[in-house]
Chain A
């Protein structure tokens, strides 16, 4: 099978508007979860969020886009991260538009991020809003396809919180089977009343910034982010283009247990990790760091820990970087893939922040402090979603 490598990365999140800014925050344990400045909701003053510190107006201006054309926040942050990724991979406009380039994106809230406009349009109150043609989950991708004149394969997946991990896996499969020569894969989700109220109705939001893998964790913090990676076959990469990391394998399965919770025996998470290791031709002891799904909900963190205990004789260092950015839903898989790659490149582990008392039921605990000089060859990155969708990805140092 062809070796797949990452040749470009772009990310915008609450801890940075670029990859470099994200890396700086990760190294310095700077969390982005706090009171929201831009997001207006009944919960703006009572909950904390991983909000990107840039307004829609400022994004529109920076990106040089015309007002009034239905660019939602989901789309704006997607365009920003997309631009960074394709520039990083030195893709020309011709490369991007080519029929040999695939674009695989993902989003959960998609174009429905302006809840109030959607309410008025859906109930036909007053004249149509600017966004009346932009409510689809795929709208952000369609806008990018139009802006770049992309003629190749496009796709948008939605498997809830594992969406962009699946976008990366799908992209790799397109490369392995020779259907395309390069793939831009990732996802975008912005804060929206829809999602905040949805998670709130399930009573899994934490009032304080989330603390995944802490005994007294109270739930998750929602965040917003967009991130993309460029994937190519290693044999096609030449010249000055830098290989960021190798994408070694993935595992995708369904927990088939409950619409919004993980099974007690964590059969789905375990199977996803096992499938990823098998596909990467690796053993559990080859993994030096796990970027956990680690949402901070009572259910996830204990079942994920249980899965680790069953799969690994000695559980390697692990952490949840959701403690920095919150749960960014569809964007979480790709953002955490990028954080995993940064861990490999810099040979360091970014910790789970704010843990006072690690979950006591297990003999292992997450990494609590920024740890440099760790030899990391292979990283496992987990993403589990509502609907039972479980995905694990493995990234490796590229020799």
Chain B
């Protein structure tokens, strides 16, 4: 699966490409909100008004990508929650109007497959179309789906639009706050990993990739990935070790690590265990840039592609890799669901 193009809307300035070229926004907020472009040239105003944030960000990334690339054979998205704000707006109507006569806009926009459906509609694409909602492994599931698709169509050149989207609304922020996922106190994202308290800060955004079976002009490739659930800290070494062995790789073959450390003292130890396994490696802690959300591994993958193409070097800690060729991403959510993604030049 070769990556031939990519684009993202995130809490950093990825929308105008300044992030990968050296810009870094210091964030002093509980919520790392996406920096959205104006969308004026991309989405017709009449449609923009009706779109919830998840659909808006998703379309805002899809349409520029589709505009500058040939028509894809399929559209595959991963999102844990889809348009949650629309969902809860509709829910509020249900309760506040005691199930009276309601308008359907919020309901239709709230279904997680609304984005993939809208992209198909706007680009008149009747091809394969799928939405994965596998929680914090939703992007990994979409990735697996894309890999199966390319496997099944080996004889011809195929292209897939693969993406992820997650939005923060006040409501899901409230729910996750009640669920004790977020920090009570405020520190800046520069200090996030030294905060010594539980929880993190939440982020959002949409990251999308244009994939092809043809390696020509590719920026990088998704070489392998693996998921598991409920791994103990003691099992993480085996999980990573066997993944590398399956790919015929040694620890020394990994040029750069992208780790999902998020400053939560109760679960960062899984990452520390991983760092012990690799010793001193050039490392990017990507949640310092965009916070914690359930499809953040898509953003990490975006970052890996930038690093493999000589960009975003300002984010690398420990030491700077010279021309990295192989990058490993390890991410987990609540230490329950774990994922590894290998991206190579």
Contacts and interface: CB of A to CB of B under 8 A. Distances in A.
B113 interface: yes
Nearest to B75: A254
Contact of A158 (B99, B133, B178, B230): B133
B323 to A, nearest CB: 33
A99 B117 CA distance: 32
- For A146, A194, A258, the residue with the greatest tally of chain B CB atoms inside 10 Å of its CB is A194
Interface string B67-94: 0000000010000111000011011111
Interface in B173-227: 174-175, 177-179, 227
A259 B99 contact: no
Contact of B129 (A43, A128, A389): A389
B80 A193 contact: no
B145 A122 contact: no
Interface stretch (B104-112, B157-165, B247-255): B104-112
Interface residues of B, number: 63
Contact of B228 (A112, A119, A151, A268): A151
B4 interface: no
A256 B134 contact: no
A137 B94 contact: no
Nearest to A162: B113
B17 interface: no
Contacts of B229: 142, 145-146, 150-151, 154
Contacts of B261: none
**Looking at chain A's contact residues, is the secondary structure mostly helix, strand, loop, or mixed?**
mixed
Contacts of A110: 133
Contact of B92 (A99, A123, A254, A256): A123
Given A128-B179, A174-B148, A155 B134 contact: yes
Interface in B129-160: 129-135, 137-138, 141, 144-145, 148, 151-152
Interface string A101-128: 0000000101010011011011110001
B18 interface: no
A104 B291 CA distance: 28
B133 A156 contact: yes
Contacts of A173: 148, 152
Contact of A160 (B101, B113, B135): B113
Interface string B34-70: 0000000000000000000000000000000000000
Given A154-B134, A155-B132, A155-B141, A254 B107 contact: no
Interface string B291-315: 0000000000000000000000000
Contacts of B87: 112, 194
A149 interface: yes
Contacts of A319: none
A87 B202 CA distance: 41
Contact of B91 (A141, A194, A385): A194
A197 interface: yes
Contact of B99 (A41, A138, A154, A268): A41
A197 B145 CA distance: 32
Interface in A199-251: 200-202
Given A121-B174, A150-B229, A201 B134 contact: no
B319 interface: no
Contacts of A112: 87, 91
Contacts of B124: 256
A58 interface: no
Given A116-B95, A157-B131, A253-B126, A387 B114 contact: yes
- For A99, A170, A260, A388, the residue with the greatest tally of chain B CB atoms inside 10 Å of its CB is A388
Given A136-B81, A257-B121, A260-B108, A159 B130 contact: yes
Contacts of B81: 136-137
Contacts of A132: 175, 178-179
Contact of B135 (A42, A156, A157): A156
- For B81, B91, B92, B93, the residue with the greatest tally of chain A CB atoms inside 10 Å of its CB is B91
A24 interface: no
A254 B108 contact: no
Given A122-B91, A135-B175, A201-B102, A387 B116 contact: yes
B99 A157 contact: no
B269 interface: no
A179 B144 CA distance: 10
B144 to A, nearest CB: 7
A278 interface: no
A153 B131 CA distance: 16
Nearest to A125: B174
Contacts of A268: 126
8 contacts: A118-B91, A122-B171, A137-B82, A157-B134, A200-B102, A253-B128, A259-B121, A260-B108
List the 10 shortest-distance A-B pairs measured between CB atoms, nearest first: A387-B117, A42-B99, A198-B107, A122-B171, A254-B129, A138-B135, A201-B104, A128-B178, A387-B113, A254-B120
Given A158-B131, A159-B116, A258-B121, 16 more contacts: A118-B175, A119-B92, A123-B171, A136-B133, A142-B336, A152-B228, A157-B141, A158-B82, A159-B113, A176-B152, A202-B107, A254-B117, A256-B125, A260-B104, A268-B126, A387-B116
Interface of A: 41-43, 99, 108, 110, 112, 115-116, 118-119, 121-124, 128, 132-133, 135-139, 141-142, 145-146, 149-160, 166, 170, 173-174, 176-177, 179, 193-194, 196-198, 200-202, 252-260, 267-268, 271, 385-389
Interface of B: 75, 80-82, 87-88, 90-95, 98-104, 107-108, 111-114, 116-118, 120-121, 124-135, 137-138, 141, 144-145, 148, 151-152, 171-172, 174-175, 177-179, 227-230, 336-337
